Amino acid sequence: MLTAVRELQVALLAVLLLGGFMTKVWRVLRTRSLAAAMDPAALFPLRLRGPMVAAMGAIEFGLGVALIVTARRFGTVNQGLPATVVRVCAVLFFLVAMAALNETRQRRPEAGCGCFGEFSDTPIGWRTITRSGVLATAAALTIGLPPLRMPSSPITAELWLAVLAFELSLLAFLSPELGEVLVRLGYSEPCEVRSLPAGRTLTALHSSSQWRRYASQISAAAPADVWREGCWRFVVYPGVARDRRVDIVFAVYLQARRPPIRVAVLDADTDEILGRPELAAAGRN
Amino acid sequence: MRHLADVPRWCDDVPDFAGPARSARRSLLKAAVLGRREEPGYPPAAMGEDGAAAPSVLMYTVTGTILDISPHVLVLWTELGEQRFLLASSAAAWRGGKVAPAALRQGDHAIVRRQHPSVPVIDRIWAQAGRATGTIIEREGPATLLVDEGPGNGRKIVMIASEAAGRIQVRFPRLEPGYLIDVIGLKHDGFLHALIPATSQPPYRAGHPPAPPLASRHVPDPVNGTAVWHEPGEEPADLLGLAYPALDPEETCERGGPARPECAGDGHEIDPHATGPGCVRLPYLSMGSMLRLRNDCAQRSRTVPVTSCGATARLFCDRCVTCGTSSKGRIADLTMAAFVELGGALEDGCFTATMTIGG
């Protein structure tokens, strides 16, 4: 059992280190600025932050690749010295990260760890620090491990999978980044932040049955006021109904096709509501 | 030394703030067509409504010019004429730093907070408080900056006080063109004497704020974040309102009316409208929209109308640490009077806020 746990760690650590490196590089490329990836170096003076971030990325990449390269036969030369050196370096890396995260949390409580680029904007908490501790422990477990082999039997493979599932669950629990990733996977732009020109709203309104119903009362070609609040755009037209000056207010839901539209008619002088058919119908239901 | 008169102003520096009448009218029309929250048939996905005209008057806060001050009495010249206030025994004053109330000067512009509404006893006074928030566009010598405050606000000269230079440099290590600055200090004729860093400098250049977290289905309501304040500029000093960072793109500061020919080609050093939504995802609203804002530090709430464009707030992806740590991003840029009315201290620069759309 313990051997299965130990054997899994090398691959897991390599994937995490290379993942951290690639998300940082992606952030820098996307924003075209090294400054965007400087969160992990928040403790350093400004002039040192750029070199520190570059060095951190190089260490992550180097350790990730070295863990993979030394996992099998290459790591066994000189009685396993290359593999041991790389794995001890990985332990040191995660221990230093743990201490740095704790220090950053004290000094810059608002800063994120930047461990996985733009996914790591959440302020550093105990989960992030514990994750570094867990990874340092995982790296320590790999010291002295013989070269990795494929599972020798189906039972061993199942054991590997069970350990992997448990460890991934633990890391997911300790990773505030996971929530951000899940949100991005299932994202569709909410109507409140969707940009929809007023012209399209007016086109939808003018082709609606509500417009045809009130068109005879409207006395101006252009609306007196148009404004938006979240998912609704409001359009106000002056009009005349039963010899009274009225304001006819349309609320048009901001969706591309067949938007719901609501109407109210108010006395322009007294603001008395003269007609509001949708709400009246809803009240009867 | 440059003077503000030498600094070119953009055509869009003419503010377009919505008066209380416009807010009330739009609220009323919205309530008429969508109904009130408690009514059957109110659309669940719709924004909230405020129903009747929101109380847009200040209850705790008074602004004016100091006519006279003694250890126990303050006389202010306000919109309503001369007003006299008693100073509470615990009254604290700020004029670049904490000072005794008697140290304030005649002619200072002051903003005061009463202990209780309509009782003329005050416990906090701020005199000559000013703030510069925006993008550094020029640096002259070690301590003079020209700051573009974005659409609707124009440019401001900032002189960093020698005694505060170290403190500001620690929080704003890059006092260079293209980077953001947010400092509080004493307002003088034509420039701001910067004394306090209002936040920590974001590490990115002003035009590259990070993208906001994505929200599925609907934008959260209420939303949590940072509320800051701005100087009144051309707005009335006692205006209870806020500059909203996510005005409808059809109705932003520049595009609120038909474009004038002389505006062609003008622009700000950094156009916040071109930098994306900022790091907090807010629903699009318009001038006059009503918001319920709660100061989570002081547990005080008010309904506040959107009175101007706060696009510059989008550039700042910071957190307020006045009480605990707020969520990232600025959700409201209040007028000075509204900030004080909600229990904020101007020298803190921000408070953690919870905002409910519609009130």
Domain identity same for A169 and A262: no
pLDDT for B50: 39
Domain identity same for A146 and A247: no
* B48 confidence band (pLDDT: 50, 70, 90): very low
Q: Which of residues 242-261 of A touch B (CB under 8 A)?
A: 247, 249-251, 253, 260
Last residue within a domain, chosen from A185, A209, A229? A185
Which has the higher per-residue pLDDT, B182 or A113? Answer: B182
Q: Is A237 part of the contact surface with chain B (CB cutoff 8 Å)?
A: no
A76-117 per-position pLDDT tens digit: 666 678 888 999 999 999 999 999 888 888 877 767 777 877
Last residue within a domain, chosen from A154, A185, A216? A185
Which has the higher per-residue pLDDT, A278 or B313? Answer: B313
**Please, which residues have CB within 8 angstroms of residue B124's CB and are 6 or more apart in sequence?**
B91, B92, B93, B94, B112, B113, B340, B345
Residue B217: list chain A partners with CB under 8 A.
Answer: 188, 190
Domain identity same for A212 and A270: yes
Domain identity same for A86 and A172: yes
The shortest C-alpha distance from B210 to chain A (Å) reads: 8
Q: Which of residues 18-57 of B touch A (CB under 8 A)?
A: 26, 28-30, 32-35, 39-41, 43, 45-47
**pLDDT > 50? residue B154:** yes
Lowest mean pLDDT across A43-57, B113-127, B130-144, B204-218: B204-218
Q: What is the mean pLDDT of chain A?
A: 83
Contact A57, A26 (CB under 8 A): no
Domain identity same for A128 and A254: no
- CA angle (A17, B213, A174) in 5-degree steps: 40
pLDDT for B145: 92
Indicate the residue of A118, A228, A271 with minimum beta-carbon distance to B248.
Answer: A228
Indicate the residue of B216, B219, B325 with minimum beta-carbon distance to A183.
Answer: B216
Judged by CB atoms closer than 8 Å, whether chains meet at B208 and A33 is answered as yes
Alpha-carbon dihedral sign for residues B331, B337, B343, B347:
positive
Domain identity same for A47 and A141: yes
Residues of CATH 2.40.50.140 domain(s) within chain B? 130-197
Task: Encode B12-31: b = buried (16+ Cβ within 10 Å), e = exposed.
Answer: bbebbbbbbebbbbbbbbbb
pLDDT for B317: 86
Judged by CB atoms closer than 8 Å, whether chains meet at A232 and B39 is answered as no
Six token digits for residue B264: 């062609």
Per-residue pLDDT averaged across B139-158, rounded? 86
Which has the higher per-residue pLDDT, A158 or B37? Answer: A158
B164-178 per-position pLDDT tens digit: 999 999 889 889 888
pLDDT for A241: 85
B90-108 per-position pLDDT tens digit: 899 999 999 999 889 999 9
* A35 confidence band (pLDDT: 50, 70, 90): low
pLDDT for B222: 87
Residues of CATH 2.40.40.10 domain(s) within chain B? 13-37+44-56+208-357
Contact B257, B319 (CB under 8 A): no
Residue B211: list chain A partners with CB under 8 A.
Answer: 118
B287-335 per-position pLDDT tens digit: 888 899 999 999 999 989 888 888 888 889 888 988 888 888 899 999 9
pLDDT for A284: 44
Last residue within a domain, chosen from A185, A211, A236? A185
- Give the architecture-level CATH label for domain B61-123: Beta Barrel (2.40)
The SS3 call for residue B356 is strand
Per-residue pLDDT averaged across B122-151, rounded? 91
Residue A195: list chain B partners with CB under 8 A.
Answer: 249, 284
Residue A227: list chain B partners with CB under 8 A.
Answer: 26, 248, 251, 286-289
Domain identity same for A180 and A90: yes
Domain identity same for A151 and A201: no
The shortest C-alpha distance from B97 to chain A (Å) reads: 24
**Please, which residues have CB within 8 angstroms of residue B285's CB and are 6 or more apart in sequence?**
A228, A229, A230, B47, B244, B246, B247, B248, B291, B306, B357
pLDDT for A270: 86
Identify from B29, B33, B180 which residue to disrupt to test chain A contact, counting A C-beta atoms within 10 A and taking the largest count: B33
Superfamily (CATH) of domain B13-37+44-56+208-357:
RlpA-like domain (2.40.40.10)
What letter represents residue A47's amino acid?
Answer: R
How many helices and strands (H and E) does chain A possess?
9, 5
Domain identity same for A44 and A100: yes
DSSP output for B141-191: TTTEEEEE--TTT-EEEEEE-GGGHHHHHHH----STTSEEEEEEEEETTE
CA distance B168 to B162: 10
What is the domain extent for residue A133?
Answer: 2-185
The shortest C-alpha distance from B49 to chain A (Å) reads: 10
Domain identity same for A178 and A240: no
The shortest C-alpha distance from A128 to chain B (Å) reads: 17
Judged by CB atoms closer than 8 Å, whether chains meet at B29 and A283 is answered as no
**pLDDT > 60? residue B45:** no
Q: What is the ipTM of this complex?
A: 0.76
Query: Which chain A residue lies closest to B279 (C-alpha atoms)?
Result: A121
Contacts across the A-B interface (CB distance below 8 Å): 163
Fold that domain B130-197 belongs to in CATH: OB fold (Dihydrolipoamide Acetyltransferase, E2P) (2.40.50)
Judged by CB atoms closer than 8 Å, whether chains meet at A229 and B318 is answered as no
Q: Is B205 part of the contact surface with chain A (CB cutoff 8 Å)?
A: yes
* Strand B81-94 with B121-127, pairing: parallel
Q: Which of residues 174-193 of A touch B (CB under 8 A)?
A: 180, 183-184, 186-188, 190-193
pTM (predicted TM-score): 0.68
Identify from A27, A34, A46, A110 which residue to disrupt to test chain B contact, counting B C-beta atoms within 10 A and taking the largest count: A110
Domain identity same for A57 and A36: yes
H-only helix segments in B274-335: none
The shortest C-alpha distance from A17 to chain B (Å) reads: 23
- How many folded domains does chain A comprise? 2
Q: What percentage of residues in chain B have a pLDDT greater than 70?
A: 78
**pLDDT > 80? residue A268:** yes
* B355 confidence band (pLDDT: 50, 70, 90): very high
Judged by CB atoms closer than 8 Å, whether chains meet at B216 and A187 is answered as yes
Alpha-carbon dihedral sign for residues B52, B54, B60, B61:
negative
Judged by CB atoms closer than 8 Å, whether chains meet at A227 and B26 is answered as yes
Q: What is the mean pLDDT of chain B?
A: 80
Residue B29: list chain A partners with CB under 8 A.
Answer: 225, 234, 236, 247, 249, 264, 266
Judged by CB atoms closer than 8 Å, whether chains meet at A193 and B328 is answered as no
Q: Is A60 part of the contact surface with chain B (CB cutoff 8 Å)?
A: no
* B274 confidence band (pLDDT: 50, 70, 90): low
Lowest mean pLDDT across A182-191, A206-215, B37-46, B149-158: B37-46
CA distance B85 to B74: 5
pLDDT for A145: 80
pLDDT for B279: 78
The shortest C-alpha distance from B211 to chain A (Å) reads: 9
Which has the higher per-residue pLDDT, A259 or A48? Answer: A259
Residue A113: list chain B partners with CB under 8 A.
Answer: none
Domain identity same for A91 and A215: no
Per-residue pLDDT averaged across B59-75, rounded? 91
Judged by CB atoms closer than 8 Å, whether chains meet at A271 and B215 is answered as no
CA distance A208 to A253: 12
Per-residue pLDDT averaged across A234-260, rounded? 89
Closest by Cα among B201, B359, B347 to B293: B359
Residue A264: list chain B partners with CB under 8 A.
Answer: 29, 32-33
